[in-house]
Amino acid sequence: MSQRQSIRGMHDILPSETPLWQWLESQVEAVLKQYQFEEIRVPIVEHTEVFTKAIGQTTDVVEKEMYTFEDRSGDSLTLRPEGTAGVVRSVIQHGLLHPPGQKVWYHGPMFRYERPQRGRQRQFHQYGVEVFGLAEPVVDVELMAMIERLWQRLGLSSAVSLEVNSLGDPDDRARYRQHLVDYLTPYAADLDEDSKRRLQTNPLRIFDSKIETTQAIMSEAPRFGDFMGDAARAHFEQVQALLNDLGISFRVNSGLVRGLDYYCRTVFEWVTDQLGAQGTVCAGGRYDGLTAMAGGKDVPGIGLAMGEERLLELIKAKNEPLPMASGVYWLGQVPVGELLAEAEALRLACPHLTVGSDLVGGSLKSQFKRADRSGARVALIYGEAERSQGIVQVKDLRSDSTQQSVSKPNLAQYLSSLFSTQS
């Protein structure tokens, strides 16, 4: 059985679904380019310590979600559970931390051994961006503005909302940590098992708990805001002022801590109420100490990541037809070899047009069915009558407009203008 099934939580993306993925990806990449981000591609597998050092030993990801294995020479390797650690490793290795202002994006599958459910897979796909070397609040805000621009483009502005918080600087957090432990210790017996353990190892992370009784205890906990130092406070205030200047609405959520250890100062998430429990679609924050911790020069950094599966769910929930159908499909009752020759001539004349031709033949009805299934927008009908008159019938498969006869020498020109006005 197992040889005929994909691994639990790891899904095939079938030809019927890839057009939507490709559409999403083209939108995301257009926005990234507009903001001068450049693509970086790093391996899917890294030495395990690339992740344990960066993400933190006491995080969910490192404690229970990584796919870690030994290779044949006994080295411990891990399938990447997130993108930042590998990108940081790469920019250090290749000396890209200087000059400041490197802006990169990445994209691809991530792997986490989690309980598969709606919006949660074991292989999922993220887009992520990282900016190195820039410490100013305006950098944080440009990132958030970029993602707001993306929501606009995807038609998701009203489906998601922005939450921001500041985790301050490491010294602030150390002071706060003690207060949090003092508050939580009397409730220790009422916390869930994970949170009990975290009380010793990583108490801030208890804010991340999805267990209701724990959440109730946390809702009364002292908030970090009261412990934030002056520098971090000024940074956070400026972030908020700049967001206001740009007219970007947001909510300060003082319980927002983020699941990975490397964050400091500004953290942010876009959340939705349309995806059940898995409500975060995009999340990120500042990680000013990370490059030094990973063995590189100590430069500030900030990044974010978003899950494609959750975005696609939101897009599908809108139920709007997307402009997917494209290209043409040759059909008609002539030998299929003749259709193929016409298709080849058109591919040469129109290099950007998607051109199919019927490879099976048979009744016109069955050929039209295949044309429809192919996703083409237009059928090019070429039978014996058309051949003898030197014409092609052009029929729009996706609207009720009437069929047009076009002379063969004019066909390429006709289709070029048809598709430039339709797309």
Interaction site with ligand ATP (CB under 6 A): 82, 112, 114, 119-121, 124, 126, 259, 278, 280-283, 305-307, 309-310
Minimum distance from CB of 29 to ligand ATP (Å)? 18
Return the number of the residue (32 or 282) whose C-beta is nearest ligand ATP.
282
Q: Are 191 and 206 in contact (CB under 8 A)?
A: yes
Residue nearest ligand ATP, CB atom distance: 307
Return the number of the residue (202 or 280) whose C-beta is nearest ligand ATP.
280
Return the number of the residue (97 or 257) whose C-beta is nearest ligand ATP.
257
Return the number of the residue (17 or 182) whose C-beta is nearest ligand ATP.
17
Return the number of the residue (59 or 291) whose C-beta is nearest ligand ATP.
59
Minimum distance from CB of 81 to ligand ATP (Å)? 8
CA distances to 147, 163, 164, 398 from 243, in Å: 13, 12, 11, 43
Minimum distance from CB of 167 to ligand ATP (Å)? 14
Amino acid 255 reads G
Return the number of the residue (125 or 395) whose C-beta is nearest ligand ATP.
125
Classify burial at 327, counting beta carbons within 10 Å of its beta carbon; exposed 0-12, middle 13-18, buried 19 or more. Answer: middle
Return the number of the residue (280 or 291) whose C-beta is nearest ligand ATP.
280
Preceding peptide of 99 cis, ω within 30°: yes
Q: Phi first, then psi: what are they for 11, rounded to 5°?
A: -115, 150
Minimum distance from CB of 162 to ligand ATP (Å)? 13
Q: Which DSSP category does 402 fall into?
A: P
Minimum distance from CB of 117 to ligand ATP (Å)? 9
CA angle 166, 208, 269 (to 5 degrees): 50
Minimum distance from CB of 290 to ligand ATP (Å)? 14
- Reported as type and span, the H/E element at residue 391 is strand 391-396
Token pair for 147 = 């993602």
Minimum distance from CB of 127 to ligand ATP (Å)? 9
Q: Are 147 and 127 in contact (CB under 8 A)?
A: no
Long-range contacts made by residues 291-296, C-beta under 8 angstroms, separation at least 24? Answer: 291/88, 291/91, 291/92, 291/97, 291/132, 293/53, 293/54, 293/262, 294/50, 294/53, 294/54, 294/85, 294/88, 294/89, 294/92, 295/92, 296/88, 296/91, 296/92, 296/97
Q: Are 394 and 413 in contact (CB under 8 A)?
A: no
Minimum distance from CB of 53 to ligand ATP (Å)? 16
Reduced to 3 states (helix: H, G, I; strand: E, B; else coil), residue 5 is coil
Return the number of the residue (267 or 355) whose C-beta is nearest ligand ATP.
267
At a CB cut-off of 8 Å and minimum separation 6, what does 45 contact? 77, 78, 79, 80
Token pair for 224 = 């970090």
Minimum distance from CB of 260 to ligand ATP (Å)? 6
Phi and psi based region of residue 405 (left: phi greater than 0; alpha: psi -120 to 50; beta: remaining): beta
Minimum distance from CB of 136 to ligand ATP (Å)? 23
Return the number of the residue (306 or 328) whose C-beta is nearest ligand ATP.
306
Q: Closest by alpha carbon to 263, among 400, 167, 137, 395?
A: 167
Strands 301-307 and 328-331: unpaired
Return the number of the residue (6 or 405) whose C-beta is nearest ligand ATP.
6
Return the number of the residue (52 or 121) whose C-beta is nearest ligand ATP.
121
Minimum distance from CB of 62 to ligand ATP (Å)? 12
- Cα distance between the two ends of the chain: 45
